[in-house]
């Protein structure tokens, strides 16, 4: 059972830069999460740079490049993608590879990498998590990114 996205504190987060790496595959669902995340960032004054990639497997390569980038550094990276299980184990392998790579980037660069690359069983689960405004995971991901930028600034990182 999904919980309703909790409201983040309405404090301004101006001056913060976030990169969003979003898959074009399963575009209907990813685009909905992307719109929701961008709207949430706009509410608090966070600048969001969007980079589109073909699929979920390509997300870590771009996230890594963004983490290393010296020109226009970012305070967090939000990764959006949908992987739907099929009849083979391919989706699970992609999901595990993406998860491991994103965790390495986050720890290796002391940079929040928000993992919203969802491995789902079917389109119904994707609709519930991406198209329902009350439970849109793009909103939750953006709020997590905002909170993590605050935590990292407080730590002086």
Could you read off the pLDDT of 27-64 as tens digits, one per residue?
999 999 999 999 999 999 999 999 999 999 999 999 99
3-class SS of residue 35? helix
What are 71-115's pLDDT values in tens digits? 889 999 999 999 999 889 999 999 999 999 999 999 999 999 999
| Cα–Cα distance, 84 to 16 (Å, whole number) | 33
Confidence at residue 110, expressed as pLDDT on a 0 to 100 scale: 96
Is 93 marked active-site? no
pTM of full prediction above 0.85:
yes
Of 119, 114, 98, 122, the residue nearest 34 (C-alpha): 114
What one-character DSSP code corresponds to residue 57?
Answer: G
- Would you state the pLDDT for residue 112? 98
Smallest Cα–Cα separation from 152: which of 3, 13, 1, 47?
A: 13
d(CA 95, CA 2): 20
Residue tagged active-site, from 90, 93, 109, 115: 90
């Amino acid at each position: 059972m999904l919980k309703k996205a909790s409201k983040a504190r309405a404090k301004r987060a101006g001056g913060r830069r976030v990169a969003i790496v979003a898959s074009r595959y399963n575009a209907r669902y990813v685009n909905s999460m992307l719109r929701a995340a961008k709207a949430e960032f706009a509410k608090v004054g966070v600048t969001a740079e969007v980079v589109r990639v073909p699929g979920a497997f390509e997300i870590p390569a771009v996230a890594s490049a963004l983490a290393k980038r010296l020109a226009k550094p970012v305070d967090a990276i939000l990764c959006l993608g949908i992987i739907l299980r099929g009849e083979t184990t391919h989706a699970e392998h992609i999901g595990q590879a993406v998860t491991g790579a994103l965790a390495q980037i986050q720890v290796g660069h002391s940079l929040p990498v928000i993992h919203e690359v969802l491995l789902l069983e079917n389109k119904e689960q994707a609709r519930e998590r991406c198209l329902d405004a009350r439970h849109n995971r793009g909103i939750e991901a953006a709020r997590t990114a905002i909170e993590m930028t605050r935590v990292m600034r407080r730590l002086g990182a």
